[in-house]
A and B are shown apart, each in its own frame.
Chain A
Amino acid sequence: MTAEKQTPVGIEAKHVTKVFNGKTVLKDLNFSVKPKEVFVLMGPSGTGKSVLLRLIAGLDEVTSGNICINGTPLKEVKRKNKYVLGLVFQAGALFNSLSIFDNLALYFREHCLCSEKEITARIERVLEMLNLKGIEQQMPSSLSGGMKKRVALARGLLMEPDVLLFDEPTSELDLLTASSIIELIGSVNRRLGITTVIASHDILLAKSIGHHIGVLQNGTLGEIYTPETLLHADNAFIRNFLNPTINLDHPQFPSFLL
């Protein structure tokens, strides 16, 4: 609808390593995301999912290794602005000084993409889809965490980018809202063929819309699964991650906590 779409975008990571002040967060990651597919990054909290998304978005630089977009290293592609990238941040990252409407309109206004009337129409449509009607004139600080998250999602979807990265799109949301968001992401991917990378612990999301799934564990990415193979993986860590058991008789905490 907006800019004419170039060839669909594929992402390739080769030997990606990221070190923060001597602490290795990501170790020699290799994976590829084919054009138009949904790649889900799973893994326990603190394993570097958000870090990896920031690397793909070009916000941070890899310590070593390479990330390529359609075969061209990220740095060169970024310089030429050849593709549009959307990143939906974990905490939303809405512009606090702008109203919700201005937040959503900023991208179109600054890039002079369409008329004010069309912007309004689009924003109304997407807010309706996300069950957020009527909050256009509110400020971000007056929204709940889940609402901010959905507004951020709306901002990402409105851009209709070539690559969409989501950081935990369904955390903080109730199951019903979460599932409608999963549906939305899945159908947008299907309809527009936007290459999508999602960092999430949500197994429902991975199962229902992921084409390929990688599980980060201690900064490394093992095998890449499909929804079917993931559920029957014979890796003990993954089985425990997907189906943790709660055992009150033999808790793992030291006794002073109990």
Chain B
Amino acid sequence: MMKILEDWQYALVLLFKTIGELRFLPRQWGRCMQHACNMGYQTLPIVGILSLFMGGILALQTGYSLNKVPGAQNFLGSIVGLSMCRELGPLMTAFLLTGRVGSAITAELASMAVYQEIDALKTMNLSPVRLLVMPRLLGGLLMMPLLTIFSNILGWVGGWIVVHSVDIISINGSIYWRGLKKFVDIESINDGLIKAELFALIIIAVSCAVGLRTRGGPREIGASVTSTIVQTMVAILTCDFFVSKWLL
């Protein structure tokens, strides 16, 4: 428990230090883009697949429940549209980013710490925050909104496929899209993106902090990766609740 609090404290320290290092951004821009592309490349396919199914399942379940109320299925588009962009899109992207990117960051930085590469950087008067944390953080912040938008769109498409092809849902595709367009406004999408950026900040800061604080040997690297995943998942959901309440 103590260790988790220390990890969090260090994550905050890293965020502040990153702000301090922003003046070196021009030199690190290449690294930022490289990390952003990597993250996108790694997460895009799985975000796509999962969002498609998430939208589909959402349409199926709500469509089935609303079957009993005449006319209620007309709201299917708005339900799927809003849930995806306000909640499920950002949340699912964040979870996938944790699994694919956060864990990889922790593993990489932890092994650098354990094998004294971080110490080597320090003796060379090179800041680990500037070279390792800042590019990952900015890469994540750049990629997250794109991934989230992608997730939203595929979720909507998933819903549409179900509406179109499942018999118990009596409305047709055009009613679905009309409902979706009517209720999903820029503000809802923006709220989702704000949350997504916050999640990305949490994921990358925590995974960097846990990685850099790793001491010991290979065993501890594994333990750190697990710890990152658990910590960020809890943090994301907690943050999600309070931010959603504030944004609504």
Chain B CB within 8 A of A4 CB:
no
Residues of A within 8 A of B126 (CB): 106-107, 110-111
Chain B CB within 8 A of A68 CB:
no
Chain B CB within 8 A of A57 CB:
yes
Total interface residues in chain B, CB < 8 Å: 15
Contact A93 B117 (CB under 8 A): yes
The B117-135 residues at the A interface (CB cut-off 8 A) are: 117, 119-120, 122-126, 131
Q: Across the two chains, which residue of chain A brings its CB closest to B115?
A: A93
Chain A CB within 8 A of B67 CB:
no
Question: Would you give the shortest CB distance from A152 to chain B, in whole angstroms?
Answer: 8
**Residue A86 contacts which of B108, B115, B117, B123 (CB distance < 8 angstroms)?**
B123
Compute how far the CA of A103 lies from the CA of B115 in the bound complex, rounded to whole angstroms.
15
Contact A57 B115 (CB under 8 A): no
Residues of A within 8 A of B131 (CB): 110
If over half of B's interface residues share one DSSP class (helix, strand or loop), that class is named, otherwise mixed; here it is helix
Chain A CB within 8 A of B226 CB:
no
On whether A87 and B115 interact (CB within 8 A), knowing A81-B125, A110-B126, the answer reads: no
Contact A84 B119 (CB under 8 A): no
User: Number of contact residues on A: which range applies?
Assistant: 20 to 34
Residues of B within 8 A of A110 (CB): 27, 124, 126, 131
Residues of B within 8 A of A241 (CB): none
Contact A59 B124 (CB under 8 A): no
Contact A91 B115 (CB under 8 A): yes
Chain B CB within 8 A of A24 CB:
no
Contact A89 B124 (CB under 8 A): no
A-B pairs with lowest CB-CB distance, top 10: A93-B116, A93-B120, A87-B123, A107-B124, A59-B119, A110-B126, A89-B116, A57-B123, A95-B117, A93-B117
Q: 15 A-B contacts, Cβ less than 8 Å apart?
A: A59-B119, A59-B122, A81-B125, A86-B123, A87-B119, A93-B116, A93-B117, A93-B119, A93-B120, A95-B120, A96-B117, A106-B126, A110-B124, A111-B125, A111-B126
Known: A93-B115, A110-B124. 4 other contacts (CB 8 A): A89-B120, A93-B117, A95-B117, A107-B124
